[in-house]
Amino acid sequence: MIVKGLLICFTGIDGAGKTTLSKELVKSLEKHGIGCKYVYARLNPFISRPVMSIGRLLFLSGREIESKGYLKYYVMKRAAIKHHSTLSGIYVKILLIDFLLQIFFKVKIPLKLGKNIICDRYVYDTIITDISVHMNYSVEKIINLINSLLRFIPKPNITFLLDVPEEVAYRRKTDIPSVEYLKEKRWIYLDVGKRCEMILIDGCKPLEELKTLTQNIVLEYLREYG
């Protein structure tokens, strides 16, 4: 099957299984003659790294969750951001410029060259995990920001939202500070996923079942629109 310029994304909270399933989908599609490239597409700080270091000093580091407790950390961080509202606005703009540049080279150019890309995380994860939770954005503001960025970067053909209970995700990962941290993000992901018409996938199902499910959804999409 000759397919060019296909963009599929996996999104969801930490520990949902995005990396594992996205890599498995690459293998599955290649067995069907559809060459794919795996791309980790969440913001990987480069030009924004110094700014993020300053941001940690101004807005508190995530590592402080353990020492302060999540609720106290949450209140203190929101207060710090409100106090430095101008700086926080500049901070977000620099992060977004960094992200857009990375997506241009990682995703946009390869798609233009006819590559098929499976993204482990994408704009949704950068906005929700790296920006909105910290900046206390409403879901409406998150959606508006995502839509604004999708004017400049490729819109996925298919987006899978992997969802698991917070307790399950917390057990799967060793670098998550608290269950409360996941709870805050999970409801945002579910709301954004519904509004953005993502395909909701139960990440608690066996891997083989998830591999078959996602593969069949992609093949069905290609039969209909390819």
Which percentage of the chain shows pLDDT scores above 90?
65
CA neighbor of 184 nearest in space, from 89, 99, 73: 73
Helix (H, G, I), strand (E, B) or coil at 163: strand
> What's the mean per-residue pLDDT of the chain?
88
State pLDDT tens for residues 87-99: 778 888 999 999 9
Helix (H, G, I), strand (E, B) or coil at 116: coil
Q: Count up the domains in the chain and report the number.
A: 1
For residue 1, being part of any structural domain is answered with no
Q: How many residues does the chain have?
A: 226
pLDDT of residue 96: 95
Helix (H, G, I), strand (E, B) or coil at 162: strand
Average pLDDT over residues 189-200: 97
pLDDT of residue 175: 75
User: Which range is least confidently modeled, 69-83, 108-122, 161-175, 197-211?
Assistant: 69-83
pLDDT of residue 149: 97
For residue 114, being part of any structural domain is answered with yes
| Residue 153 · residue 209 · CB < 8 Å | no
Is the pLDDT reported for residue 67 higher than 50?
Answer: no
Query: What's 107's domain CATH number?
Result: 3.40.50.300
Is the pLDDT reported for residue 21 higher than 80?
Answer: yes
For residue 202, being part of any structural domain is answered with yes
Alpha helices in 32-138 (DSSP H): 49-59, 64-68, 70-83, 85-103, 109-112, 123-125, 133-135
CA dist., res. 196 & res. 166, Å (int): 22
Name the residue range of residue 146's domain: 7-225
pLDDT of residue 49: 79
pLDDT of residue 66: 46
For residue 11, being part of any structural domain is answered with yes
Is the pLDDT reported for residue 76 higher than 80?
Answer: no
For residue 152, being part of any structural domain is answered with yes
For residue 62, being part of any structural domain is answered with yes
CA dist., res. 215 & res. 200, Å (int): 14
CA dist., res. 87 & res. 58, Å (int): 9
| Residue 214 · residue 159 · CB < 8 Å | no
CA dist., res. 164 & res. 155, Å (int): 25
For residue 48, being part of any structural domain is answered with yes
For residue 2, being part of any structural domain is answered with no
For the record, the structure tokens of 18 come out as 């995005």
pLDDT of residue 179: 86
What does the DSSP 8-state code read for residue 205?
Answer: S
